Amino acid sequence: MTVVEAPTLIAPHGGRLVDRSGPRPDGFERLEQIQLTSRELSDLDMLASGALSPLEGFMGRNDYERVVEEMRLERGLLWALPVCLAVDRPPHGDDVALTDETGRPLAVLEVDEVFEYDKEREAERCFRTTDAAHPGVARLYDQKPFYLSGRVTVFERIDPPFPELALDPLDTRRAFDERGWQRVVGFQTRNPIHRAHEYLTKGALETVDGLLIHPLVGDTKSDDVPAATRVECYQVLVDNYYPADRVLVSAFPAAMRYAGPREAIWHAICRKNYGCSHFIVGRDHAGVGDYYGTYEAQLIFDEFEPHELDIEPMFFEHAFFCRVCGQMATPKTCPHGGDDHVFLSGTKVRELLAAGELPPAEFSRPEVAEVLISAYRS
Ligand SMILES: [Zn+2]
C-alpha cells in the first residue's frame, strides 16, 4: 500500500500561527479604557487572527528599536514595520481595555512597557521620508507621544466590512488544504483589477496550484477606489475569467501604511501566515506619489537570505496589450514600441468611466468597467 502524504503548506512566520482570541476576563469593566485608531484596530484584529504571527501584542521597545533600525525583531526574526499602540500617558493598572472608536470594548492588553519614540526617526527609517505630505508619515506625526506595549487577548473582533470575504489565516489555510493546494500565490491589491493585473496573476498561477486574490480592505487614502466597488470588480472578474477551483478571493484587513519597500516585505510576511508560498510584488508596491523608486519594493528582498522570508516573491513588470504581439505582454516579453501598446493613464480611464464610456476591451474587461461606471454614477 502506498501512503500518499497530504500536501503541506508553508509554515507561519516564526513557525507557529498565533491565536490571541480569548474570553472576556472577569473585572474587565473596571479597567482603564484606551480607544484605538482605525490603523491600530486593523493591527489588533490581525494580532487576534495570527495574521501578524509571531507577534502576540503591540511591540515593546526592544522589538521596536530593532525593527526600525534593522528590520528585525529582538530575537533576530525578519520583520519590516512597527506594530505599535500610541497613547497619551502611561496607564495606571497592569491591564487596560482596548476599545473601538465608539468605545466598544474589544480586547485586554497586559501592560508591559510604556516608552517614548522619535517620530521623525521612525518616519525616516520606515517611510524613507520625513515629509508630512506622505499619508503614512502624516498619520505617524498625528499619533500620541508614547507607545504602550503588551500581549493582547481579543474577545470581540471588529465587524468585517465584507463578512463573506472575511477569512482568518486558519480559514485560508484550511481552504487551500481542502483544494489540495500546496503552492499558493498571494496577490495584494487596493485597486480594481484591469487586464494588466489579470495577466500578472494568471502568469503567476501558471506555475503554482492556486491564487489568493487578497484585496486590502482596511483604511486607505480617500482617493483610492472604495473597497465595496473594488470587491464587486474582483467578483465579476473571477466569475467570468478565472477557473473557480484555482482562485480564492478574500479580504486582507490591514490598513495601508504606504511604506513602499518595507510594506512589501510586511505584506509578504502576512501572506505567508495566510498560507501563501509565493507573493506577487509589482512595480512601486505599496508606494504613493513619487516617494519610492520603481523597483525599490522589489530590490529590498535582496537584502535578506531567501530562507529568512521563506515566502517567495514573484516580481512583475507593468503589463499592457500589444497589438503586434496580439496579446498581453510586458517589456520583458514584447519587443515592440509604445505605439503598438494599448496604454491609458489613470486619469484617462477615470474620464472615460465618469462619462459612462467603456475603456477598450484590451485594457479592461467590460464586466469590470460596468461596475466602475455605475459606481461613478452613484
Ligand atoms: Zn509586442
Q: Are 376 and 351 in contact (CB under 8 A)?
A: no
Measured in Å, residue 239 CA sits from the centre of ligand 1 at 28
Predicted local distance difference test score (pLDDT) of residue 222:
57
pLDDT digits (tens, 9 = 90+) for 321-373: 999 999 999 999 999 999 999 988 888 888 898 899 999 999 999 999 999 99
How much distance in Å is there from the Cα of 342 to the middle of ligand 1? 10
- Residue 283: pLDDT over 90: no
| Residues linked to residue 95 through DSSP beta bridges, in sequence order | 110
Q: What per-residue confidence (pLDDT) applies to 192? A: 84
Note the pLDDT tens digit of each residue in 212-249.
999 988 776 656 678 888 889 999 999 999 999 999 99
- pLDDT for 211-221, tens place per residue? 999 998 877 66
Kindly report the pTM of this predicted structure: 0.94
For residue 5, pLDDT over 60 is answered with no
Give the other-Cβ count within 10 Å of 40's Cβ.
20
pLDDT at site 274:
98
Longest dimension (CA), the chain: 71
Residue 3 has pLDDT above 70, yes or no: no
Report the pLDDT averaged over residues 13-27: 94
At residue 143, the pLDDT reads 97
The arrangement of strands across the sheet holding 341-342 comes to 327-329, 320-322, 341-342
Output the CA 332–ligand 1 centroid distance in Å.
Answer: 10
Torsional sign, CA 87, 94, 159, 251: positive
pLDDT by residue (tens digit) across 122-161?
999 999 999 999 999 999 999 999 999 999 999 999 998 8
Q: What is the pLDDT of residue 190?
A: 81
Instruction: Give CA separation, 10 vs 7, 76, 233, 275, 301, in Å.
Output: 10, 20, 29, 6, 18
The mean pLDDT of 86-104, rounded to a whole number, is 95
Q: Which of 190, 195, 257, 365 is catalytic?
A: 190
240 is catalytic: no
Q: Which of 192, 254, 259, 260 is nearest to 225 (CA)?
A: 192
What confidence score (pLDDT) does residue 305 get?
92
What pLDDT is recorded for position 189?
86
- CB-CB neighbours of 30 under 10 Å: 9
Rounded to an integer, what distance in angstroms lies between the CA atom of residue 173 and that of residue 171? 5
pLDDT higher than threshold 80 for residue 162? yes
d(CA 159, CA 37): 15
Q: How far is the CA of 335 from the centre of ligand 1 (A)?
A: 5
Tell me if residue 191 is catalytic: yes
Cell of 22: 480569548
**Strand ranges inside the chain, DSSP E:** 32-35, 57-58, 85-87, 95-99, 105-116, 146-154, 184-189, 210-215, 247-249, 278-281, 312-315, 320-322, 327-329, 341-342
- Cα of 322 vs centre of ligand 1, distance in Å, is 5
Give the pLDDT of residue 349: 87
For ligand 1, the distance from its centroid to the CA atom of residue 104, given in whole angstroms, is 56
User: Of 191, 246, 283, 350, which residue is the catalytic one?
Assistant: 191
- State the average pLDDT over residues 67-83: 98
Ligand 1: centre distance to CA 111 (Å): 59
What count of Cα atoms within 13 Å lies in the side-chain half-sphere of residue 334? 22
Tell me the pLDDT band of 70, cut-offs 50, 70 and 90.
Answer: very high
With pLDDT > 90 as the criterion, what percentage of the chain qualifies?
A: 81
Cα gap 200→227, rounded to integer Å = 21
Which triple of cell numbers denotes residue 245? Answer: 477551483
| Whole-angstrom distance, CA of residue 181 vs CA of residue 174 | 10
Residue 7: is its pLDDT beyond 70? no
Identify the pLDDT of residue 138. 97
**CA atoms of 168 and 251, how far apart (whole Å):** 9
Mean pLDDT of 300-316: 95
For 29-52, the pLDDT digits (tens) are 899 999 999 999 999 999 999 999
